[in-house]
Structure 1
Amino acid sequence: MAPGLADRTDADNAAAREVRIIEKVDALCLKHMLVFARRGFQSLPIVLVIAYLAFQDGAGLWVVAWLAIWMVGQALIRRAAGRLQRRAEAAPAQALRAMTRLFARSGIVAVALMPVFFLRSTDVVLLFVSFLLSTQGGGLVMLASGIQRAWLSYAGPFVVVMIVGWLWRGGAMGYVMAYVMATTVPLSLMSVRAQRKEFTDQVRLLDDNEILSASLKAERDRAEAASASKTRFFAAASHDLRQPLHALSINATTLDLVARRSGDPLLIELSQGIGSALGQSRGLLDGLLDISRLDAHSVSLHTASHDVAALMEAVRNEFAALAKQRGLSLEIDAGPLWVLTDADQLLRILGNLVDNAIKFTPRGGVRLQARHAPDGRVIVSVSDSGPGIAEAERERVFEEFYQVGNPSRDRSQGLGLGLAIVRRTARLLEIPLELVCEPGRGARFELSLPAAAAGAAPPLPPNESGIGRPLSVLMVDDEPDALRSLCTYLREIGWTARGVACGDDAQQILDDGFRADVLVVDFRLRGETGQDVITRLRMRNPGLPAVIVSGDTSAQRLRTFSGLAAVVLHKPIDGARLAQALSETVKASTVSASSEVQRGRDDG
């Protein structure tokens, strides 16, 4: 935008703001005036005193008529104020003009009795009446609520009558009182203007707050939109990357199987290299998946009492080979300590911390420790002998994709998601997490967990298990490469596999007599979802075990998966892991069916 145009736009915005503030101030003043108008009868005691004094001075019927006119006028003003209050928001300017006219009529009625006092009363009575009316007028300074014309419309007739009356009475008393009455006008107007300024300052402050709040809301909305866009991008990118890697992982598993059967050293070496590269790729994508699951709040917690030493031993078994490959020691220092937590999520935290420590520790080792804290909790820590983390970096290391000492973005060191996953998971478990380190002396991550009584902990899931008996598998996937790769692998390990592209074809195969032990269904199919296919097939084949395979890691999809009545596996998954998952699914289904039969017999 050109400078001149920008200046003009700023000036227009400033002018529009001033107009808006004036309108808001007038609306606030009108609100106060309406309240005053509806409380007009509160001055009745003063009016009765003035009427009594006038009656004593011989005003007679004139006083009665005046009092009746005043009371009728106040009733009409009260009624009119009620009507104006209802339409004040729709037409504040008109309501303000109408209120000013009401004030003028009320002021004329209020001073209509003053000529009687100037003609008949003594100076003492006249002074007293002047004092009463001046007090009422002084109160009106506040009740006029910053509108000068409203004050003048009410007090103007009173001031004019009082000045003229005292001048007519003459004498030192008359001239002094006329002067006093004349000086009340500028003083009262100054008070009205001061009140107007106070209202304006209040409204301007409120307007500033509204502008700031709107600006903050807009910035928050932009940040949330950017975050949502980033999440959608990573989910879409993750899905598009997972699809071809899934077929490649299955083929790599098949290649490794064939290589080991052939005994060809070169073929074995090539298959291992491919498997290692794919494993690294899966690790990177699984990091993104963990972040997506945590952000989608689709992680279910299963809290129980667990032996810390057993959990640490499971982590050491998983990373011992990697530590040995790097020339590092991996030690455990934990006594018989038990904690109340979710074992899977705590293992995820410890695994990420140990993995991170091994990656960034050039020599020495990594230690897992557990001890009692003075407050009765259990402190679990992972420390290393690496270079440590500078103080300026200690908060940033928990950000996604941020890594210290990896400017070349060496992919063997991951994406920089490990500590972000650790912090999110610790918050999910409501576990305080603290980073303690000194540059050059390594880093130590400490977790504070609630202690639990010793007991029989639920068994930890094994890292690997046998594939079990050969199964008959029916696969539904509209990706030909993935379908062909999986069928080839399953047949190589002696299983029976049939693959189709849609639910109708799967139903036809079952109708033709194929007895499937388990279904493997891709979630995102053309025209339907994997859950739709499973539901339809189970209508005619109740209890058929099913596994859903998906490359979709969006937050919405993860929340959907958390409610599905089927096992969900995320691509890419190699053939051996998939076969193991299918065996476990069939086994769990068989155990469940046997339990149902046994319960039926017991009930019989």
Structure 2
Amino acid sequence: MSLIVPPMPAPAPAADEIALQTPRQALLTHLARQSPVVAAPIFLSALAIAAVASREVPRGWALGWLVLVCLVLALRSVVLPRLARPGPASEATRMRVALAMSVVNGLVLGSAVVFAPWLHTVELAVVTIVLMFVSAGVVSTNLGYRPMLLAYLVPSVGSLVLVWALVGPAGSTPEMRGLGIVVAILVGLFALSLLAMGRRAWQQHVQAIAARHEQQRLTRELGAALARAEAANRAKTHFLAAASHDLRQPMHTLSLFGAALLMRPLDERSREIAQHMDGALRVLGSQLDALLDVSRLDAGVVRAESLNFALGDFVQRLCRDMQPVARARGLGLELDIEGGQHVCTDPLLLERIVRNLIDNALKYTERGQVTVRLRPIGERLELSIADTGRGIPEHEQARVFEEFYQLGNPGRDRERGLGLGLSIVRRLADLLGIELALKSIFGSGTTVTLQLPVVAAAEAAPRPAPPSAEALRGCRVLVIDDELTVRSGMHALLESHGCVVSLAADGAEALAAAHRSQPDIVLADLRLQDDESGIDCIHRLRQLWPDLPALLISGDIAPARLRQAHDTNLRLLHKPVDADLLRAAMVDALDA
């Protein structure tokens, strides 16, 4: 809302107060807010007129007129706020009362012209200027609403026109009559200009109210759209969590039996079949792990643990690990390292980022090579992964970081994953505070760069040696899982490590088995039947043996479940669990 005339500035009504009001309702609100603001300028103006008039008329008359002005101001301060509040009176009735107040205000202030026959030219000119000053302020006070503006201008400014045209100042000569007519015309023109300004002010007010109504409508529509999008996102998360859980259960069983099978003596052909089966399970497991990464990031349970390490050595190891994949695809994997600077970040999360980027570059490069380059740039290290693939069209480049988006994979080739790799990269880069940039020319390849701050080298802690196959021999393990096939698979795998295994389907069976043979460690499924959880089972067992080591194993990736497990400070392994990872986690828990 624009205020057209500045003599009596006043704050516009708050947007939230008038957003759903009509223009006239908003005007009533504005009048109520303006009433205490304009009282002081009007009183000072009336005081100036009374002071000028008291020099020529009896002071009692001037004082009486000033008291009358004050009474009108007091009446306005009581009536106008009530008009703004909703009540039984209709809007039309309240507007008529406000209009009457404008008439009273104009009549009382305009009645100052009764002093004109006693005022000389200079004194009458002062009264005229003061009344015109107040009239200019009325435009902003009434937001230019024409009926209300006329209700004030006609008695106040109109009386000035008549006085100058017909009466004139005291002691005026016939020659002065012409000057009085000129002044009357100028005052009349000023009143017309105020009406024109008022018309524009009212139009702007109406347009502002319409814009606020439109803004409210758009805000409601946007809110509804956001609610639908959030509901769809929750449904997607729920579906992915449920689907992942149902897929992970049999996969976990297969991986357990597969790992147990590979530890047995097999002929060459059988071992080859078992290895192919294990490889297929690992591919599928990596795709489910991508869903898990997204859910863990959504749940906010991923915490960065920064370490000081040489980035060059780190990148060399990753490239060495990825060389077999590159050779299998007939591609070159080149490494170009300048300097041996250190960085301080989470090496595991950074490895997830870099592996995803290299893997993605190898998947989308049909011929040529992928180049991993590390070079210092000022106080930062820039790690870039450049490929000679097909490149990404400019209009698609922002979308490659979206979930489930894949470029150039209409057949949904599963070897290319689920389209989550770059989404995970972006989220992890944000978590670690790493600058991530993508540059691609369609038909010429793509380069993704990471920038990390350089830090001073620190003495590295020695890495613990991986646990041997004999580390768990003789260990008493209690497995709690409501799936018979999972219990059987865990039994086969753990027995191959030399463990003594007890099995339980729920908390009651777990307590009974524990009383028969006190376990050294518990492996519990997070979600059991009948709303029972592995967390509850572990807590009950720890009431008997407070320091009992325990691990949670789950195929559930729902963010709420992940947060629940994270809050217990129990280590959570996700199905399908890699046999080496399970052995290492058990050894860590026992050592702790």
Q: Which of the numbers 507, 511, 522 marks the counterpart of 2:525? A: 522
C-alpha displacement of 1:166: 6.5
1:254 equivalent in alignment to 2:260: yes
Equivalent position amino acid for 2:254 in 1: L
Query: Is the CA contact (8 Å cut-off) linking 1:337 and 1:370 kept in structure 2?
Result: no
1:204 and 1:275 mapped to 2: Cα distance? 66
**1:592 matched residue in structure 2:** none
Q: Write the deviation string for residues 103-130 of structure 1: whole angstroms up to 9, x where unpaired.
A: 3334333454645644x66777666655
**Aligned AA for 1:156?**
V
Partner residue, 2:15:
none
Looking at structure 1, the residues matched to 315 and 558 of structure 2 have their Cα atoms a distance apart, in angstroms, of: 32
Q: 1:72 to 1:515 in 2, by over 3 A?
A: same
Match of 1:548 among 552, 560, 567: 552
Moved more, 164-173 or 184-193: 164-173
**1:191-590 alignment to 2 at 5 Å?**
191-257=197-263, 260-261=264-265, 263-334=266-337, 335-373=339-377, 375-438=378-441, 442-459=445-462, 466=469, 468-470=471-473, 471-512=475-516, 514-525=517-528, 526-586=530-590, 588-589=591-592
Q: Quick check: 1:250–1:485 contact (8 Å CA) kept in 2?
A: yes
Q: Distance in 1 between matches of 2:419 and 2:136?
A: 73
TM-score norm. by structure 1 comes to 0.81
Gaps of 5+ in 2: 1-18, 169-173
Letter in 2 for 1:340: C
Tell me the CA shift for residue 314 of structure 1. Answer: 3.1
Give the match for residue 37 of structure 2: 35
Is the 8 Å Cα contact of residues 138 and 149 (structure 2) preserved in structure 1? yes
Q: Which residue of 70, 78, 83 corresponds with 1:74? A: 70
Describe the shift of the 1:438–1:575 C-alpha distance in structure 2 as closer, same or farther (beyond 3 A): same
Give the partner amino acid of 1:224: E
* Paired residue secondary structure (1:306): strand
**Offset, 1:344:** 0.8
What is aligned with 1:9? none
Is contact 1:476–1:502 with CA below 8 Å preserved after alignment? yes
**For the Cα contact (< 8 Å) 1:25–1:203, is it kept in 2?**
no
- Tell me the CA shift for residue 396 of structure 1: 3.2
Q: Which amino acid is the alignment partner of residue 297 of structure 2?
A: L
Residues 287 and 181 (structure 1 numbering): CA distance in 2 closer, same or farther, change over 3 Å? closer
- What CA distance in whole angstroms lies between the structure 1 residues aligned with 2:143 and 2:415? 73
1:520 alignment partner AA: L
Q: Give the Cα–Cα distance (whole angstroms) in 1 for the partners of residues 465 and 426 of structure 2.
A: 25
- Tell me, in whole angstroms, the C-alpha distance in 1 between the residues paired with 2:532 and 2:362: 44
Give the aligned residue type for 1:358: L
The answer to whether the aligner puts 1:151 opposite 2:154 as a matched pair is no
1:103 counterpart = 2:102: yes
CA contact (8 A) 1:255 1:271 kept: yes
Matches of 1:199 and 1:290, distance apart in 2: 53
Q: Give the distance between the partners of 1:320 and 1:240, measured in 2 at CA.
A: 34
Contact 1:141-1:192 at 8 Å conserved across structures: yes
Once the two structures are TM-superposed, the CA of residue 548 in structure 1 deviates from its matched residue by 0.0
Evaluate the alpha carbon distance shift between residue 440 and residue 203 of structure 1 in structure 2; reply closer, same or farther with a 3 A threshold: closer
C-alpha distance 423-51 of structure 1, shift in aligned 2 (>3 A) = same
**Structure 1: where are the runs of 5+ without partners?**
1-16, 590-604
**Alpha-carbon distance in 2 for matches of 1:122, 1:472:** 115
CA distance in 2, matches of 1:132, 1:327: 92
> Contact between 1:474 and 1:519, CA under 8 Å: does it hold in 2?
yes
- Give the corresponding residue for 2:84: 88
Would you say the 8 A contact 2:22–2:209 is kept in 1? no
3-state DSSP of counterpart to 2:54: helix
Cα drift, residue 560 of structure 1: 2.9
Aligned-pair CA distance for 1:422: 2.0
Contact 1:25 1:200 (C-alpha < 8 Å) held by counterparts = no
Q: Deviations over 1:485-518 (max 9, x none)?
A: 2123323443211111222321222223x12111
Name the residue aligned to 2:16.
none
Given the superposition, is the C-alpha separation of residues 465 and 379 from structure 1 closer, same or farther in structure 2, using an over 3 Å criterion? farther
1:158 and 1:451 map into 2 onto residues whose CA distance is 77
Per-residue displacement from partner, 1:282-329 (whole Å, max 9, x unpaired)?
A: 011011111222233321112121122332243245334333433444
- Alpha-carbon RMSD: 3.5
Deviation at 1:80, TM superposition (A): 4.4
Equivalent pair of 2:390/2:444 in contact (CA under 8 Å): yes
Q: 2:53 — aligned with what?
A: 51
Give the letter aligned to residue 101 of structure 1.
A
1:355–1:464: structure 2 CA closer, same or farther, 3 Å change rule? Answer: farther
CA pair 361-467 structure 1, distance change in 2 beyond 3 A:
farther
What fraction of aligned residue pairs are identical, expressed as a percent?
A: 33
SS in 2 for 1:562: helix
Residue 64 of structure 1 aligns with an amino acid whose one-letter code is: G
Q: What is the CA–CA distance in structure 2 between the aligned matches of 1:164 and 1:205, rounded to whole Å? A: 42
Cα contact 1:33–1:145 (8 A) shared by 2: no
Quote the offset at 1:522 in angstroms: 0.8
Classify 1:106/1:504 alpha carbon distance in 2 versus 1 (closer, same or farther; 3 Å). same
For 1:284, give the aligned amino acid.
Q
Superposed displacement of residue 150, structure 1:
3.0
Q: 1-side partners of 2:336 and 2:525: how far apart?
A: 44
Q: Which amino acid aligns with 1:503?
A: G
SS at match of 1:524: coil
Whole-angstrom distance in 2 between the partners of 1:78 and 1:352: 75
TM-score (norm: length of structure 2)? 0.83
In structure 2, distance between residues paired with 1:383 and 1:464: 37
Report the CA distance shift for 1:154/1:50 in structure 2 as closer, same or farther (over 3 A). Answer: farther
AA matched with 1:291? V
**Deviation at residue 549 of structure 1 after TM alignment:** 0.4
Q: Which amino acid aligns with 2:70?
A: Q
1:568 deviates by 0.7
Corresponding letter in the other structure for 1:232: H
491-500 or 77-86: bigger deviation: 77-86
